[in-house]
């Protein structure tokens, strides 16, 4: 026999809760990717080169691409210096940010009419990323209810459902991450329009480093936790089924194997004192219960107890 189902269920629950918290934090925080710009180097280069100065002067103070920045799913944030005149605000997490408008769902969406096909693809992939992530979170939220109810009622059916729902959550979240990588790939390698990498001046490409941020990392870690939780949940379902089968055997054994049962039950009365008495089938025990034999059985028990 493996581990007991309550133990597996507890471990699975802990993994699920950690996973849900991580995945939710990742959703709401703004460091999925990070672009670090060495502004000092750019400014030095501009000061040393008049042509470059003319090309870049306006942008360096006001265009986000010249500033170190992090991206979340919904915000672009500036942890160090902030570009002027871009309508930034302080996010709930305390950094200065602007909202990412490229979903083209709210506000002024006229820009979408001038998108080329790669930009349109990017827009759809961005929407899909968020939609799949929300579906994944919805599955997790639903799991809380089936999971709690399943543990409370000790219902294998609900535990099985919870395990499968967790697996669905993992699928949607992982798909969301994969699509997010698609967006990232388009931005870094495909799109030639501003403000994406291929449109940058060489000096900007040289002085910018691109990294994945901690929001992105904890999202994957959280998904890993949810995956382990779902596998454990399915394991708990199996263990519960096995334990149920054992219970069934124990309850029904007396009717199927009466002698075996009676021996078991009577051992304590006879053990050590009257060897062989324990082997008497139940029928005999009943028959002699009030007689000499029964009395001996009683004393035998007391001897054993001491």
Ligand X SMILES: *[C@@H]1O[C@H](CO)[C@@H](O)[C@H](O)[C@H]1NC(C)=O
- Name the DSSP letter for residue 281: -
Tokens of 242: 């096995």
Give the contacts of 120 (CB within 8 A, at least 6 positions apart): 112
- Could you give the CA distance from residue 192 to residue 184 in angstroms, rounded to a whole number? 14
Cβ 98 to ligand X shortest distance, Å:
15
37 bridge partner residues: 208
- Chain positions 143 to 172 lying near ligand X, rule: CB under 6 A, are none
SS3 call for 280:
coil
SS3 call for 75:
strand
Please say which residue, 136 or 213, places its beta carbon nearer to ligand X.
213
CB-CB contact of 6 with 156 (8 Å): no
Residue 28 contacts ligand X per CB under 6 A: no
- Could you give the CA distance from residue 305 to residue 300 in angstroms, rounded to a whole number? 9
Q: Which stretch binds ligand X (CB under 6 A): 197-205, 208-216, 230-238, 262-270?
A: 208-216
Residue 76 contacts ligand X per CB under 6 A: no
Cβ 214 to ligand X shortest distance, Å:
4
Residue 304 contacts ligand X per CB under 6 A: no
Cβ 40 to ligand X shortest distance, Å:
18
In this structure, what are the phi and psi dihedrals at residue 90, rounded to the nearest 5 degrees? -90, 120
Residue 31 contacts ligand X per CB under 6 A: yes
Kindly write out the interface string for residues 78-117 of this chain, putting x where it contacts ligand X by CB under 6 A and - elsewhere: -x--------------------------------------
Please say which residue, 12 or 207, places its beta carbon nearer to ligand X.
207
Applying CB under 6 A, which of residues 70, 91, 119, 129 lies at the interface with ligand X? 70
- Could you give the CA distance from residue 36 to residue 73 in angstroms, rounded to a whole number? 18
Q: How many residues lie near ligand X (CB under 6 A)?
A: 7
- Could you give the CA distance from residue 161 to residue 84 in angstroms, rounded to a whole number? 52
Residue 220 contacts ligand X per CB under 6 A: no
CB burial of residue 276 (10 Å; 0-12, 13-18, 19+): exposed
Please say which residue, 79 or 268, places its beta carbon nearer to ligand X.
79
Please say which residue, 32 or 280, places its beta carbon nearer to ligand X.
32
Cβ 162 to ligand X shortest distance, Å:
32
Cβ 70 to ligand X shortest distance, Å:
5
The three-point CA angle 306-258-247 to 5° equals: 85
Cβ 223 to ligand X shortest distance, Å:
17
> Residue 182: left (phi > 0), alpha (psi -120 to 50), or beta?
alpha
Applying CB under 6 A, which of residues 142, 197, 200, 214 lies at the interface with ligand X? 214
Cβ 209 to ligand X shortest distance, Å:
11
Residue given tokens 């028959």 in the structure block: 287
Applying CB under 6 A, which of residues 83, 156, 213, 297 lies at the interface with ligand X? 213
209 bridge partner residues: 36
What does the binding site for ligand X look like in residue numbers (CB under 6 A)? 31, 34, 70, 79, 211, 213-214
């Amino acid at each position: 026999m493996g581990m007991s189902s309550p133990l597996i269920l507890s471990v699975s629950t802990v993994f699920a809760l950690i996973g849900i918290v991580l995945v939710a934090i990742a959703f709401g925080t703004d460091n999925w990717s990070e672009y670090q710009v060495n502004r000092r180097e750019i400014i030095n280069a501009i000061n040393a080169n008049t042509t470059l100065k003319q090309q870049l002067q306006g942008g360096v103070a006001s265009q986000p691409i010249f500033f170190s920045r992090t991206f979340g799913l919904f915000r672009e944030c500036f942890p160090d210096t902030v570009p002027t005149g871009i309508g930034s605000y302080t996010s709930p997490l305390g950094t200065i940010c602007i909202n990412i408008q490229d979903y083209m769902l709210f506000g002024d969406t006229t820009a979408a009419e001038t998108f080329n096909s790669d930009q349109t693809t990017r827009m759809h992939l961005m929407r899909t990323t968020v939609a799949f992530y929300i579906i994944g979170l919805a599955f997790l939220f639903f799991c809380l209810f089936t999971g709690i109810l399943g543990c409370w009622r000790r219902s294998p059916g609900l535990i099985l459902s919870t395990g499968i729902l967790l697996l669905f959550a993992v699928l949607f979240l992982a798909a969301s991450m994969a699509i997010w990588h698609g967006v990232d790939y388009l931005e870094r390698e495909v799109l030639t329009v501003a403000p994406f990498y291929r449109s940058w001046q060489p000096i900007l490409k040289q002085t910018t480093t691109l990294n994945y941020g901690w929001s992105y990392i904890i999202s994957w870690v959280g998904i890993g936790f949810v995956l382990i939780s779902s596998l454990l949940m399915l394991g708990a379902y199996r263990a519960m089924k096995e334990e149920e089968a054992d219970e069934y055997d124990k309850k029904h054994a007396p009717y199927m194997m009466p002698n075996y049962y009676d021996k078991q039950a009577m051992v304590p009365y006879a053990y050590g004192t009257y060897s062989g008495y324990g082997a008497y089938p139940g029928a005999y025990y009943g028959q002699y219960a009030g007689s000499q034999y029964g009395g001996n059985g009683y004393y035998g028990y007391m001897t054993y107890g001491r």
